[in-house]
Amino acid sequence: MPKILLVDDDHATLDLLELFLYKDYEIITALNGFEGLTKAEKELPDLITTDITMPVMDGIRFFNRAAKSEAVRRVPIVAVTSFAESVTAKSLLNMGFSGVIPKPLERELVLTTVAGALKAAAKA
């Protein structure tokens, strides 16, 4: 069963993502980018989702640090954000994110984005 690390400072978002994904994936959670990076390096997930706006370490800084980590740099990272206008989503994808999930969360979009990112990573 693929392992997914969910990084978000909002408990309700974490709970909803976990509700959508727990049947098909092993779920690990973290409340900020710093905690997420620590867990990612320890747990070696198959995919990471990260909120963009968080205290301690935001999603962009988390993404940049993960890209420099030998253990984590090949793990696909999907942005979860309320700033998912097409321009923002395109810039996140151009940065190297494997997908963008807009808030409010929609179950089918979460499932297809996660599955697509995992499939693309498996081909790489």
**The pLDDT of residue 18 is above 80:** yes
| Rg of the chain, C-alpha, whole Å | 13
Residue 69: the pLDDT is: 94
Residue 87: the pLDDT is: 60
Residue 88: the pLDDT is: 82
User: Mean pLDDT throughout 105-124?
Assistant: 94
* Amino acid at site 53: T
Q: What is the mean pLDDT of the chain?
A: 94
- Write out pLDDT tens, residues 60-110: 999 999 999 999 999 999 999 987 566 688 899 999 999 999 999 999 999
pTM score of the predicted model: 0.95
Alpha-carbon distance of 63 to 54, in angstroms, equals 13
CATH topology of domain 3-119: Rossmann fold (3.40.50)
More confident residue, 53 or 20: 20
Residue 24: the pLDDT is: 96
Residue 40: the pLDDT is: 98
Residue 83: the pLDDT is: 72
